[in-house]
């Protein structure tokens, strides 16, 4: 019997098309894998009945030769995506048992194309975090462990459930979102591929908002090809999201295997940090050599405002979050904690419903937007954002096709190890990824090697606006050179 859970989406697509197995068999195999992997805490809600019903329906469609591009493929959905009649919480107590009466645009496009939903995946509360430790459902465990150790590592965040589930073969791919690195950092920590599309490429409608000018949905998958397959279904114009862009969705998969000969790849000198682990530095050099061997030209570039990106992000993102999260007041959805007056009810609800990190962001955001501080913080951060964007534009104007950087400054770390005393320690995880959100650009994280403890490390490629195709072509070159990495099963 074929091993039904370790296939790629591309392989499963072929198997389903030539009737080697059914979607129901494929779905059942994944449901069994999920059940056996509860120790990872990757799923916050399993939807086996819905999954089987969807699989049966798609099997009937496949039999009639009517399956779509994702016909019969079982996926996991980050709990930030509203799913009709299926509990959606953003992993926050404040949403309680909220069951949306509507479906997010991105997930509705996946179902339109024939995918099957296995359940909802864990994430940091409201997607605020880099380790999946802020979830009200508790931390997710990374299927990867340090060699010779059995201590639990984080899968990164905020899309920690998505990354962990895809790496552990619990689903063939997953949806994720990225506001400052939440797709690419967990992908790098778990040896999966994560794509943060250009701002406006995927609709944000029906996704719980964190920082609306930065949020983008994207896929996490096990190969570059699989992420391209998922992207094609997720992307597209949506009149319900005014920031979504009306532009044809290319066949991203067709970019795989395209020659990268003559492409100019920028290596930004500002990303060479003091104290960066030697193995990250080495991997970066190796990645550049792989692209060069494939015919690309490597050029040193400068992105001079890089050092201001993280501080500016931690003004813009909390500012937008404080405004977006104002709607959780105990009146309309989720938790309500009574009080003597309506004001007290708001206070009690929000104090009880939000976790520490979310409260911190709301307070910072409210502060930087308040009269008297707005110009000093928020307005200045917006100006810095423009300069960061201009740094990239200047490089692209000089003919640079894409930029190669490490995805993260380190490999996965232990549960409870970072950010306890100083939240900035956690924020530093996103040092290489936030710039991309600030500039609205597409980025991909591809597994590229391992550190001395046997943990995966990833490289990031940053592209021109709406040129995800180049990232898929280059990403596949890295994947071919590096090989694929699978964690040894212990759960
Ligand atoms: N780690 C970053 C933050 O906490 C980014 C999170 C994300 O991309 N959603 O803000």
The CA distance from 26 to 12, in Å, is 8
**How many domains does the chain fold into?**
1
CA of 214 to the centre of ligand 1 (A): 10
Distance between Cα 183 and ligand 1 center (Å): 9
Mean pLDDT, range 84-104, rounded to an integer: 97
Would you say residue 1 has pLDDT above 80?
A: no
**In terms of residue numbers, what domain contains 247?**
1-491
Whose structure tokens read 């280059």? 474
Beta bridge partners of 175: 219
Q: Quick one: which atom of ligand 1 is closest to the CA of 128?
A: 4
Nearest CA to ligand 1 atom 5: 180
* H or E element that contains 119: strand 116-121
What's 172's DSSP letter? S
Q: Which residues make Cβ contacts (< 8 Å) with residue 177, sequence separation at least 6? A: 78, 80, 127, 158, 159, 183, 207, 210, 215, 216, 217, 218
Q: What is the mean pLDDT of residues 67-95?
A: 98
Is 2 or 331 the better-scoring residue by pLDDT?
A: 331
- Taking CA atoms, 134 is separated from 59, 158, 279, 423, in Å, by 38, 9, 29, 12
Q: Beta partners for 42?
A: none
Query: Token digits for 439?
Result: 């500039």
Give the helix ranges, DSSP H, for 168-266.
Answer: 184-190, 224-234
Nearest to 381 by CA among 368, 394, 396: 368
Q: How confident is the model at residue 274 (pLDDT cuts 50, 70, 90)?
A: confident
Span from the CA of 157 to the centroid of ligand 1 (angstroms): 7
How far apart (Å, rounded) are the C-alpha atoms in residues 160 and 399? 35
Does the structure show a pLDDT above 90 at 481? yes
Phi/psi at 173 (5° precision): -170, 170
pLDDT above 70: residue 300: yes
Q: In the chain, pLDDT over 70 holds for what percent of residues?
A: 100
**pLDDT surpasses 70 at 397:** yes
Ligand 1 atom index nearest CA of 426: 1
Atom of ligand 1 nearest to the CA of 427: 1
In terms of Cα–Cα distance, which of 257, 206, 234 is closest to 69?
234
Atom of ligand 1 nearest to the CA of 214: 8
pLDDT at 275 (0 to 100): 85
Output the furthest CA–CA distance in the chain (Å, rounded).
70
Smallest CA-to-CA distance from 174 within 146, 151, 155, 152 is with 155
From ligand 1's centre to the CA of 411, what distance in Å? 17
Question: What tokens appear for 183 in the block?
Answer: 């797709």
- CATH number of the CATH domain containing 330: 3.90.1300.10
Task: Determine contact, residues 176/470, Cβ cutoff 8 Å.
Answer: no
Enumerate the active-site residues.
78, 158, 182
Instruction: With CA atoms as reference, report the closest residue to 24 among 12, 11, 40.
Output: 12
User: Which residue's alpha carbon is at the smallest distance from atom 10 of ligand 1?
Assistant: 128
Average pLDDT value for residue range 174-184 = 98
178 CA to middle of ligand 1, Å? Answer: 7
Q: Say if residue 410's pLDDT is above 90.
A: yes
Ligand 1 lining (C-beta closer than 6 Å): 127-130, 158, 178-182, 210, 317, 430
**What does the pLDDT read at residue 245?**
98
Does residue 185 carry a pLDDT above 50? Answer: yes
Ligand 1 atom closest to Cα of residue 210 = 9
Q: What average pLDDT does range 258-264 have in this prediction?
A: 98
Q: Which two tokens stand for residue 351?
A: 């104090």
Residue located via tokens 């534009």: 393
Percent of the chain with pLDDT over 90: 97
Model confidence band, residue 108 (pLDDT cutoffs 50, 70, 90): very high
Residues forming a β-bridge with 177:
217
pLDDT in tens, 217-242: 999 999 999 999 999 999 999 999 99
Cα(92)–Cα(442) distance, rounded to whole angstroms? 28
Closest CA to 140 of 60, 70, 210, 43: 43
Over residues 31-72, the pLDDT tens digits come to: 999 999 999 999 999 999 999 999 999 999 999 999 899 999
Ligand 1 binding pocket mutation candidate from 79, 80, 121, 129 (most atoms within 8 A of CB): 129
pLDDT at position 421: 87
Residue 2 has pLDDT above 80, yes or no: no
CA of 347 to the centre of ligand 1 (A): 25
Q: Which of 81, 91, 180, 433 to mutate to test the pocket of ligand 1 (most atoms within 8 A of CB)?
A: 180
Q: How confident is the model at residue 333 (pLDDT cuts 50, 70, 90)?
A: confident
CA angle 128, 132, 136 (to 5 degrees): 80
Tell me the average pLDDT of the chain. Answer: 97
> What pLDDT is recorded for position 384?
98
Mutational pocket test of ligand 1: of 179, 197, 460, the residue with most ligand atoms within 8 Å of the beta carbon:
179
**What does the alpha-carbon distance between residue 300 and residue 7 come to, in Å, rounded to a whole number?**
38
Spatial distance between the Cα atoms of 203 and 197, rounded to a whole number of angstroms: 11
Is residue 426 a contact partner of residue 129, using CB atoms and an 8 Å limit?
yes
Ligand 1 atom nearest residue 177's Cα: 9
Contact between 198 and 440 under an 8 Å Cβ cutoff? The reply is yes
Strand ordering across the sheet containing 173-178: 43-46, 116-121, 74-78, 173-178, 216-221, 193-196, 443-450, 456-463, 402-406, 264-268, 297-301
Predicted pLDDT at 491: 96
User: What is the 295 CA–ligand 1 centroid distance (Å)?
Assistant: 35
CB–CB of 407/188 below 8 Å? yes
For a ligand 1 pocket test, name from 90, 91, 122, 128 the mutation site with the most ligand atoms within 8 angstroms of its C-beta: 128
């Amino acid at each position: 019997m074929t091993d039904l859970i370790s296939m790629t989406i591309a392989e499963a697509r072929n198997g389903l098309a030539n009737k080697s197995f059914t979607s129901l068999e494929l779905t059942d195999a994944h449901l069994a894998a999920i059940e056996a992997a509860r120790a990872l805490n990757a799923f916050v809600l399993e939807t086996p009945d819905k999954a089987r019903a969807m699989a049966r329906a798609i099997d009937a469609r496949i039999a009639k030769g009517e399956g779509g591009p994702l016909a019969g493929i079982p996926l996991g959905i980050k709990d930030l995506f509203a799913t009709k009649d299926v509990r959606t919480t953003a992993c926050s107590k404040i949403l309680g048992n909220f069951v949306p009466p509507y479906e997010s645009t991105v997930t509705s496009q996946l179902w339109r194309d024939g995918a099957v939903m296995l359940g909802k995946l864990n994430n940091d509360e409201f997607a605020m975090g880099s380790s999946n430790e802020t979830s009200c459902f508790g931390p997710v465990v990374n299927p990867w462990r340090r060699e010779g150790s059995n201590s639990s590592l984080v899968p990164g965040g905020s899309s920690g459930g998505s990354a962990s589930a895809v790496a552990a073969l619990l689903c063939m791919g997953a949806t994720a979102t990225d506001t400052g690195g939440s797709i690419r950092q967990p992908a790098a920590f778990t040896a999966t591929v994560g794509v943060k599309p250009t701002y406006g490429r995927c609709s944000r409608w029906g996704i719980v908002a964190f920082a609306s000018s930065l949020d983008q949905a994207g896929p996490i998958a096990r190969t570059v090809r699989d992420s391209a397959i998922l992207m094609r279904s997720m992307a597209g114009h949506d009149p319900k999201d005014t920031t979504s862009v009306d532009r044809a969705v290319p066949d991203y998969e067709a970019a795989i295997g395209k020659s990268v000969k003559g492409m100019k790849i920028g290596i930004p000198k500002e990303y060479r940090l003091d104290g960066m682990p030697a193995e990250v530095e080495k991997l970066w050099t190796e990645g550049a050599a792989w692209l060069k061997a494939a015919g690309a030209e490597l050029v040193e570039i400068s992105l001079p405002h890089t050092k201001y990106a993280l501080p500016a992000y931690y003004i813009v993102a909390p500012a937008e979050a404080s405004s977006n999260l104002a709607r959780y007041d105990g009146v309309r959805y989720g938790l309500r904690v009574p009080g003597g007056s309506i004001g007290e009810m708001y206070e009690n609800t929000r104090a009880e419903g939000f976790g520490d990190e979310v409260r911190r962001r709301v307070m910072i955001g409210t502060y930087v937007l308040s009269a008297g501080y707005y110009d000093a913080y928020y307005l200045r951060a917006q100006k810095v954002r423009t300069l960061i964007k201009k740094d990239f534009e200047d490089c692209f104007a000089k003919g640079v096709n894409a930029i190669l950087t490490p995805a993260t400054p380190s490999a996965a770390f232990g549960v409870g190890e970072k950010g306890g005393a100083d939240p900035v320690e956690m924020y530093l995880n996103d040092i290489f990824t936030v710039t991309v959100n600030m500039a609205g650009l597409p980025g991909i994280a591809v597994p590229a090697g391992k550190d001395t403890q046997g943990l995966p490390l990833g490289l990031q490629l940053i592209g021109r606006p709406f040129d995800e195709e180049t990232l898929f072509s280059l990403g596949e070159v890295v994947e071919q050179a590096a090989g694929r990495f699978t964690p040894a099963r212990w759960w």
